[in-house]
Structure 1
Amino acid sequence: MKTVRLVVCCMMMLFALPAFGAGLEGRVREYTLKNGLKLLLVERHTSPTVAAWIRFRVGSVDERSDERGIAHLLEHMLFKGTKTLGTTNYAAEKPLLDKIEATAQQLIAEKAKHAKADQAKIDALSKQLKELEAAAGKYVVKEEFAEIYARNGGTGYNAMTGKDGTTYLINMPSNKLELWAAIESDRMQNAVFREFYTERDVVMEERRRSYDTEPGSMLWENFMATCYHAHPYGQPIIGWMSDIQNLTKTQAEEFYRKYYKPSNAIIALVGDLDPDKTLALVEKYFGAIPPGTPVPPVATVEPAQQGERRVEIIADAEPELLIGFHKPTLPDKDDYVFDVIDMVLADGRTSRLYKKLVVEKQLATEVSTFSAPGSRYPNVFCFAASPRAPHTVHEVEEAIYAELERLKTEPLSQRELQQILNKLEYEESRQMISNGGLARNLTEYEAVAGTWRYLIEHRQKVALVTPEDVMRVAKKYFIRENRTVGFITKREAAAPGEQK
């Protein structure tokens, strides 16, 4: 009986979700504080908890060429504490932090001389830096944010940095919401970047471990850099190694003071809350924070591609394939057409590419499609596939092109379009089951689309897509001169007398 009741409850929830989505317009309360902070509130009393998400409209795409990797490093630094949290004595710690920065700047400047650098000076400065860091480390209270949250019932404490933005999130008991407001408003105003150069070393090791020696990551980075010659979407979020090595605490603090402020912040609170009291709480803690500098739009426009580009990674790894075509982003009408194409080609085991490449021809073990690397600016519609031995990258590539030719010449059926709408309705509803899922979507679309109402409007726009639209878009964008191809070639044994 218990199992039956559980199944019935789940079914009732799923049936009710489209109605909730349809009524989202009346459920979301939105406010803009005088300092520009956007607040989105949804009252849901399904559990005595609140999902709290803060999204900053600043990501790696907003970095200058001498700042690459700074948004990702800032994500690490904003866990280090403030003037009151993460330290036993900030007054004593501060002079040491200043000396660390002065020493680090000298060390970076000397290393930048490369062959002309004074190695003795580098050694002396490196030793001095380590001694200062050890002295400052005596005042550090590690992970104090996380410990406070954990002691008070917080779960899922995390952060994410992407091309388009940076997000900090946690789920809290509803009666601890004021604690969240106190901590996060303090972090927005008074973050202290202690252990900066130690953490920079951690990021450099992350780069070595997860990118420089990982063939799949190497392929992705080189593929994106090949897709984009001008626009910063082509740069890696973590930064290239030389970028990370030259980042300074002074740069990071300037970036933080300008952009990680209310004018670029969106807060979504979803759960067991009283909207009026919650608004007053947010006003109390965040309302007096200076607005900061609105993130300027990226002025660089990626020039139209004039011919196919190909990039190969030779590695001790199985073959992999990436294909990308430049496309517009929302709210361009064609972006909605690509949503349809995405679902037709690779959404599930009944999709065209899965049936053709994985099931029928058994050319690949997996295949997927997605838009990357962000959504604020024109992006790339990507195909990713893993050839099944003994089949080759070339065979899989040609099979994908054959399916794209079908899109150009064979209209989708109304049944296929209706299946897509049904899947979208289910997926959108599923994403809103949890407080965190809804908070994520609200902050994401408010930041990228300019309004959280994209949640409501998206399926309505997709419903207007016709078979003729799909054929038109396929003919316009899926062409050789708009195509970038990346692939891994498995390293073979070296010929006699050659080095591997």
Structure 2
Amino acid sequence: MKKKSLSALFFLISFISIAQNQFEWKQESKNGYTYKYVTNDPVKARFYTLKNGLTVILSPTKKDPRIQAYVAIKAGSKTDPATNTGLAHYLEHMLFKGTDKYGSLDWEKEKIELEKIDALYEQYNKSKDDTVRKEIYKKIDSISGVASKYAIANEYDKMMSAMGAQGTNAFTSFEQTVYTDDVPSSAIDKYLAVQAERFRNPVFRIFHTELEAVYEEKNRSLDSDSEKVFDELFSNLFKKHNYGLQTTIGTIEHLKNPSLIEIRKYFNKYYVPNNMGIIISGDFNPDELIVKIDKAFSYMQPKAFEKYTFQQEEPLTHPIIKEVVGPDAESVTIGFRLPGNKDKDVLLADLVGKILTNGKTGLLDLNLVKKQRLLRASAFTYTLIDHGILYFYAAPTEGQSLDEVKKLVLNEIENLKNGKFDDNLITAIINNIKKEKIYESEKYSNRASVLMDAFTSELDWKNQVAYINNLSTIKKEDIVNFANKYLKDNYVAILKKKGESQLTEKIEKPQITPVETNADKQSEFVKSIDNIASNNSKPVFLDFNKDIQKSKIGAAELLTVQNKDNQIFRLRYRYKIGTLNDLKLALASQYIQFLGTNTMSSEEIAKAFYNIACNFYVRTGEEYTTVYIEGLQENFEKAVKLYEETIANLQADEEALKGLIARNLKARNDSKSNKRSILQGLTSYAMYGPENKFNYNLSNEELTQITSKELIERIKKINNYEQTIIYYGPIEINTIASQLKKLHKVPTQFSTPNPKKEFVQIQQNKNQVLFTNYDMVQSETRWIRNTEKYNLNKEALVNVFNNYFGGGMGSLVFQTIRESKALAYSTYGYYVTPQKSNEDYYYIGYVGSQVDKFKEATSSMNELLNNTPQISGNLELAKNQVRKDIETQRITQDDIIFTYLNAKDLGVDKDIRKDIYQTVTKINMDDLVTFEKNLLANKPYTYAIVASEKNISMEEMNKLGEVKILTLNEIFGF
């Protein structure tokens, strides 16, 4: 059986070959350019090195008329100067501000003011006198106001939006700074022109407000217990390396004292072609594209620079135990130091991580989570260029001490060191990784991401292509030897305890005068980009009658879409019964994973699925309970049969139920310690009132009284209810229907579930504040307002409004609250389409800001809602973005089926995008003004606010509306 399964996998994944020499670097020349490639590479990546040293990596695929593009620099916080930590991250923000050609109305005049600001910041940084510093900052603020009159904020984002870009962003980590855009393939010439200009001569304009955004990002990290744990772990593992000596976002002291001169030095040192890569995957001709890239970036000149060097760390000879205290739930994090990513043992480290936890049959999975000895546990390798970490995370069950958690994890490490794991586990892991590689190569965005990471991590792509073959050479004794070599009493453990944070650091709010954004202006460069010709893609709309094959299995409808790309299948049984019918059903769904049958234990069931590279799980939502079965088509019948036999023969396990109830009680307590969960609960309260979807739960007492019998009954009866069977896979519908009729018995008539609990959105008739106290630095505020029932005819206007008002970096909300006023790092405002035809649209806005900016932040959002600025150019951009998104969106695979089901829920029998596309060009400013006036302007809102009662002003909250302080029990219902 094992040989048959493995041979099938090798057959299905044709690019995998047993012979290592099938993966070799080759060289070829076309169109005057030489490139390298790796034989049998599934993503067919080409690696070019241009004359100036710029690396270009191209991976063509024609599935979608789009490209994912990265401009990656092999520099990050590791190479920050010790005197200016956070600098690489600062610089990433400033690369969105434009150059001397765009982002400016009058560069010559703006330049004079910016040079004054540069000099003032140098004075500011050298001064230690608070009074002098405040006076200097007043000058910075004043001159920034003058400079901003010549600046145009967010021209980069507007250019990208105009060409139909999605996901425009950037990120910085230890060893990489990466700029990312997903654009229509027809806009490639525009994209290259913008990127080439972007890196030519960046201008660090509108700096002090962007600096405030970085301050806000720092404050968010101060509110994150997980980030504090991460930083504490790294600082104790790496005493001589910048992985541990400094963080990516930098220290408060350095953030308070930025140097534009040092930022420019960093740019000139590392942003050179011999340290940069352009990575693109998607719909293009690589022979043509390389010519365009070369032409666009040939102006760049290479420059030698010293690479980061470091001293070797002293060996850890004993455990280092540290504590982090904060409001979030308790946990234990353990790290073992490993070699850098080019060491021969890294491949073993990857496999060790999977042996410890793979979600199904790892040592932590089977021995700790499945046996409910821990609430959660995981392990993975975190590999960087110079060092790596084997990273463990574990959360306690009810009543467990953190020392007990640590001992349980360490015990599994001992089992690993002693070889106490299934001999077949390595083979099963490799089989499942092969399946993951299929998924990895399917989407152009995934291809580009993997190639980009390999580039910035300085990995040999040949080894990445040969990864599975290399794993296949590893034996159990190699794993045991690795574990005994690296996993001794040489770890750092961080005990995350629950309590009031002792953190006293906080970046105080400076006095900032809002700067001009000149949102209605446009530079000549932007106009030139608009004039570059592009052949727009034609939209492809779904025809539900043609794109979905339909059949019947008993009384159930079968919906299928054929997978013509590979041998992956995904099968779902979607039962029309959920928690709104039966609150106990969700617990029954969870119970399944801990149960065995009359012939197999739950551990054996998990291994059986994992060994055939398949998976199953059951999830219960509000209205549906869904069974997911996925894997390789070769093993379709085995997987479905194994699932059906498991469900039919489940045996009650009282110890498992006791553990399940305990873990649910613990998870409930943990959720009350999570500010995101609290804000989600407040939002539901605002939408539905005191009894709402979020707090519709079993009480703790009801939970503890549940019996195995009633849960097993629910599991056994689930197949009696109305169901839709959804299949995406390589087999055509008649064959799959025939197979399923034998494997899955559907009743001729469905049972009727309990009546569904109905929740009706409330109409806000007065301003109200729902407040909950939480130990945090920032304040988080949401605006909620229910409006009117779903209307297909309004969908085009809704999409345009969201793009125009608050849906991206070029929107009014972002430009005003973050760019102009520097009041928040994260802010947005959306008009949300309901999921059902009988539900209401609702508005949800958000600002996360320092508490001392709360008044200004809420006032600014309200001003935008009540008096939305009318900028015709932005409206055209918003309309264009909607059209471009639809033109280049290709709904494929099982997404076709879910698009159909979602449309049915809205009472629509067609692809909604077609109506939107046909009407969006007709929308004018009057339509937008009327929409905003009738539904949002000067209307009552419910404000959901999470903040520290010690820091936030109750007086200011009262000005917003009547304040209702909610307890956690009121929010959560338990």
Structure 1 residue 127: deviation in Å?
1.3
Aligned length: 472
Q: In structure 1, what is the equivalent of residue 632 of structure 2?
A: none
| Cα 1:26–1:311 shift into 2, 3 Å | closer
Structure 1 residue 18: deviation in Å?
3.2
The one-character-per-residue Cα deviations of 1:323-375 (angstroms, maximum 9, x if unpaired) are 01111132322111111111111111332212222221x23322221233x51
SS in 2 for 1:94: helix
- 1:182 is aligned to 2:190: no
Q: In structure 1, what is the equivalent of residue 123 of structure 2?
A: 106
How far apart, CA to CA, are the structure 1 residues paired with 2:216 and 2:275? 30
Structure 1 residue 485: deviation in Å?
0.6
| Cα 1:399–1:129 shift into 2, 3 Å | same
1:231 aligned to 227, 241, 254, which one?
241
> Structure 1 residues 340-349 or 214-223, which shifts more?
214-223
How far apart, CA to CA, are the structure 2 residues paired with 1:335 and 1:200? 38
| Cα 1:20–1:171 shift into 2, 3 Å | farther
How far apart, CA to CA, are the structure 1 residues paired with 2:190 and 2:126? 42
| Cα 1:26–1:368 shift into 2, 3 Å | closer
8 Å Cα contact 2:141-2:208 kept in structure 1:
no
Question: Which structure's relative contact order is higher, taking Cα pairs within 8 Å and 6+ residues apart?
Answer: 1
| Cα 1:83–1:452 shift into 2, 3 Å | farther
How far apart, CA to CA, are the structure 2 residues paired with 1:424 and 1:266? 28
Amino acid at match of 2:295: K
- 1:50 is aligned to 2:61: no
Residues 59-458 of structure 1 mapped to structure 2, 5 A cutoff:
59-110=76-127, 113=128, 117=129, 119-208=130-219, 210-234=220-244, 235-294=246-305, 296-360=307-371, 362-372=372-382, 374-410=383-419, 412-458=421-467
More helix by share: 1
8 Å Cα contact 1:53-1:267 kept in structure 2:
yes
Structure 1 residue 376: deviation in Å?
0.8
How far apart, CA to CA, are the structure 2 residues paired with 1:66 and 1:444? 28
Q: In structure 2, what is the equivalent of residue 498 of structure 1?
A: none
Structure 1 residue 454: deviation in Å?
3.1
Structure 1 residue 414: deviation in Å?
4.1
Amino acid at match of 2:109: A
Structure 1 residue 95: deviation in Å?
0.7
> Structure 1 residues 233-242 or 446-455, which shifts more?
446-455
The one-character-per-residue Cα deviations of 1:407-458 (angstroms, maximum 9, x if unpaired) are 1112544421111111111112212211111011112112314333332022
| Cα 1:15–1:92 shift into 2, 3 Å | farther
8 Å Cα contact 2:225-2:326 kept in structure 1:
yes
The one-character-per-residue Cα deviations of 1:466-496 (angstroms, maximum 9, x if unpaired) are 111111111111111x1101011222899xx
1:34 aligned to 51, 55, 58, which one?
51
| Cα 1:492–1:56 shift into 2, 3 Å | closer
| Cα 1:329–1:123 shift into 2, 3 Å | closer
How far apart, CA to CA, are the structure 1 residues paired with 2:272 and 2:238? 29
8 Å Cα contact 1:259-1:295 kept in structure 2:
no
The one-character-per-residue Cα deviations of 1:125-158 (angstroms, maximum 9, x if unpaired) are 1211110111111222222111111111111212
How far apart, CA to CA, are the structure 1 residues paired with 2:12 and 2:451? 16
How far apart, CA to CA, are the structure 2 residues paired with 1:21 and 1:79? 41
- 1:472 is aligned to 2:489: no
The one-character-per-residue Cα deviations of 1:147-182 (angstroms, maximum 9, x if unpaired) are 111111111212111111111111222121111111
Q: In structure 2, what is the equivalent of residue 486 of structure 1?
A: 494
How far apart, CA to CA, are the structure 2 residues paired with 1:121 and 1:288? 43
Structure 1 residue 252: deviation in Å?
0.6
Amino acid at match of 1:191: P
Structure 1 residue 26: deviation in Å?
8.4
Q: TM-score when scaled to structure 1?
A: 0.89
SS in 1 for 2:221: helix
How far apart, CA to CA, are the structure 2 residues paired with 1:391 and 1:297? 44
8 Å Cα contact 1:49-1:272 kept in structure 2:
yes
SS in 2 for 1:333: coil
Amino acid at match of 1:67: N
8 Å Cα contact 1:54-1:167 kept in structure 2:
yes
How far apart, CA to CA, are the structure 2 residues paired with 1:463 and 1:379? 22
SS in 1 for 2:466: helix
* Structure with max Cα Rg: 2
Amino acid at match of 2:437: E
